[in-house]
Chains A and B, each alone.
Chain A
Amino acid sequence: MAVLIKLQRAGLRLFQSLERLLGHVFREFNNPFYSLGALAFYFFYIIVGSGIYLFIFYEPSIKGSFDTVDYLTHEQWYFGGIMRSLHRYASDALVLVMVLHILREFTLDRYRGARWFTWVTGFPALLLIFSSGLIGYWLVWDTLGQYIAVRSTEWLDWLPIFSEPSARNFLTNSSVSDLFFRLILIGHIAISIFLFVALLVHVKNISKAITSPPRNLAVGTFLCLLILSLALPAVSQERADLSQVPGIIHIDWFYMFAYPLMDHWSMGGVWALVAVITLLLLFLPWLPPQRHRPVAKVLLEKCSGCSLCVMDCPYEAIILQPRTDGHPSYVREAAVVADNCVGCGICTGACPFSRPPRGEELLTTGIDVPSRDIQHLYRASALALEALRSNTKVLVYGCDHGVALDSLAIEDVAVVSLPCTAALPASFIGYMLRHGADGIFLTGCRRGDCYHRLGNIWVEQRLSLDHQSRPHLPRWIPRQRIGYYWAGLDDERPLIRAIDRFQKGLHDFSAANNGQHEEDSLPDPVSIQGTRKQVSSEKH
């Protein structure tokens, strides 16, 4: 397991560096690494679109298969040829983004707990992509198709499951019939349909799944494939001839990387490799170190069934159901699907009942995560603030998956880490500003790359003056007293600079307002968990 963890960390460093580099170039929302899954869907759509055109002309027969593909490539190069090339290069790009997507999710540790379903259901999609791609090469019936057909069946025959070796179907040219091509064409299409279903199942437990990349990225990648199709059109190799050995072959390494291993190892060796990869991929979510996250809990007395937590949950972990407590006013209540909950606390941040204390009442919320509940957040915030001795008190809220806040080498700020920054209720920000903090600074994962998928989007919407549909920061709170910066794990220095800038801005703002805040007239703070701790409302 130690090797796995080392690999994970090394991979994470590599991805973070690459993502930062690409973030400068593409800007955050167009960063290709943040849209790998969406790009996979997009390339699949290109494959389907171009495949439909090829299907119109394709003749599934021994002679016709090669001839029709050759006709499209050479006689109809201006469209059919481009379609063929797009079909091929989009398939290659699909494998590339899929592999990067798997590696990235692995390095970011986004496959454990409730995420196991999404991880595991990605595996059938992976198998179907390779199956469909390889069968697609058979359809051309050139020497590459011949090689793939023969070696694939020889590989399958290694397993003692067939009473007769299936490779015998490719012994001589007369062994192959037109029916065979009809069957594999149907197989190719059927697998693609299954693949689409598998992709839908893969994103089933993800709310607001992003299945189309940002427009700029979509246009950019499509142009790339188009340029490649024009500059280097996909062409057939020689017509298949089962009486001849295909000697030198231009194989597609994205799909056929394992085929040379069949020649240099043994069929059993390749099966062993596939078995190890399969088992590793399937059981990775349950390998140590296990992290048991608490599951959110609905507090019915404060739940109105407003559905805001349902809308904001990134994991489809909250549903609405008929009221179970006979409440006279509310007909619905939120309920947590424990298997889907990762304990991110975003629901607490979304709940309009997540209100600061009033009078002697403690902090309240309609949904909370045990062990990281809202009381815990309040205590941590108050203690952090109390420890500050500076004139301008800045409270930094971050998440467990961004820059390690405890190690921030910056003075005059108090830090509190949350499972996700979006777990911080908007009303809480106003409350802390009224009760000791001069400024609130929020940080978390990079924009578009939130560990909990949508956290930083929700935070920005809650802070924005434009989005009023969800619990938001009251308009009367000056936005100059609030700042945020989304940072990757290795973005410590840019984060420190951003906090520094925020502090300076805060000084200027305070100076301009002569050190007076309009909230100073608001009621004094109240008890923290029974102990009356006065958090000074005096500023400066």
Chain B
Amino acid sequence: MYCRAMRRGDKAMQIFQYLGQAFWYLLFIAFIGYFSMSPAYTFMAPDQALIKLAFNHSGKLKLPCREFTAEEQAAKPKHMRIAFDCPRERSPVYVIMKIDGKLIFEKTINPAGFAKDLSSPLYERIALKAGQYHLSLGMRDHVDTEGLDYEFEGSITLAASQILVVGFDSEHNEFTFQ
């Protein structure tokens, strides 16, 4: 009798363990399965669009070349004597963006590099509702310039979820839209 009761107890315990394990394994499956792809994340609302203002433009040289004076030349070793001193430092690039007359973005980007002799990189995300806008863009790439060196005025239409990449073609000195 005792042994039979023991066996029954063991069996009940075993069933409890199997059920318990099934529960925990199901919990593991549910946890992994759910958080592997849920809850969904709304990065941007469906009626939104994005302007990416991104380019890599080199500002003009900050200072013009100048001829070394005779005294300066004489102070240098013979093998280091050159006619002109051309500082490598470039001007910072100033960018301004207005949408429907409202200032959206304005930044002065310093040239990269320890000697500030590299280009000025820009990468900026601007989220807007889809629709038509009047876009004003301006850029100044020389410290001596009053006002802006390059400008764009025009109308743009942004579709829902569209990404409009606004760049700058340094060869033709104009803003580009992709």
Decide if A163 touches B121 in the complex (CB within 8 Å).
yes
B73 within 8 A of A: no
Q: Pick from B36, B40, B56, B162 the residue with the most CB of A within 10 Å.
A: B36
A299 lies within 8 A of chain B by Cβ: no
On whether A27 and B17 interact (CB within 8 A), knowing A92-B36, A245-B49, A247-B46, the answer reads yes
CA separation between A263 and B41, bound complex, in Å?
11
Complex-state Cα separation, A244 to B21, whole angstroms: 46
In the bound complex, do residue A168 and residue B56 qualify as a contact, i.e. CB atoms below 8 Å apart?
A: yes
Are A247 and B45 neighbours in the complex by a CB distance under 8 Å? Answer: yes
Q: Is the interface of A mostly helix, strand, loop or mixed?
A: helix
Given contacts A26-B21, A165-B54, A168-B56, contact A251 B49 (CB under 8 A): no
CA A244 to CA B46, docked complex, whole Å = 11
Tell me if A164 and B56 are in contact (CB < 8 A).
yes
| A221, A227, A243, A252: most-surrounded residue (chain B CB, <10 A) | A243
Interface string of A227-265 (1 = CB under 8 A from B): 110011010000000111111111111100001100100
A165-B54, A168-B56, A245-B161 are known contacts. Are A263 and B43 too (CB-CB below 8 A)? yes
* Contact across chains for B17 and A25 when beta carbons are under 8 A apart: yes
Bound CA span A228–B43, Å: 27
State whether the Cβ of B74 lies closer than 8 Å to any Cβ in chain A. Answer: no
Contact of A171 with B21 at beta-carbon distance under 8 Å, contacts A147-B43, A254-B35 already known: no
Size range of the chain B interface in the assembly: 35 or more
Contact present for A249 and B40 (CB under 8 Å): yes
At the interface, is chain B mostly helix, strand, loop or mixed?
Answer: mixed
**Total number of residue pairs linking A and B with CB closer than 8 Å:** 125
A242-B163, A243-B163, A247-B42 are contacts. A228–B32 as well, Cβ < 8 Å? yes
Residues of B within 8 A of A252 (CB): 35-37
Check if B44 is an interface residue, CB within 8 A of chain A. Answer: yes
- Smallest CB separation, B157 vs chain A (Å): 14
| B41 & A168 in contact (Cβ 8 Å cutoff) | no
Asked if A244 and B161 make an inter-chain contact with CB atoms under 8 angstroms apart, the answer reads yes
How many residues does chain A have at the interface if contact means C-beta atoms less than 8 Å apart?
Answer: 47
B36 A157 Cβ-Cβ under 8 A: no
Check: A197 CB closer than 8 A to any chain B CB.
no
- Whether A247 lies near B52 (C-beta < 8 A) is no
Q: Chain B contacts of A245 at CB under 8 A?
A: 43-44, 48-50, 161-163
> Which residue in B20, B33, B40, B123 is a CB contact (below 8 Å) of A248?
B40
Q: A234-B36, A245-B43, A247-B46 are in contact. Are A24 and B123 (CB under 8 A)?
A: no
Q: List 13 A-B contacts (CB under 8 A).
A: A25-B16, A25-B17, A26-B17, A92-B32, A154-B125, A168-B56, A168-B121, A172-B165, A231-B33, A242-B163, A245-B49, A245-B163, A247-B44
List B residues at the A interface (Cβ < 8 Å).
Answer: 16-17, 20-21, 23-25, 28-29, 31-33, 35-38, 40-46, 48-50, 52, 54, 56, 112-113, 118-119, 121-123, 125, 161-163, 165, 167, 178
A residues near B (Cβ < 8 Å) are 22, 24-27, 32, 88-89, 92-93, 96, 147, 154, 157, 163-165, 167-168, 171-172, 220-221, 223-225, 227-228, 231-232, 234, 242-254, 259-260, 263
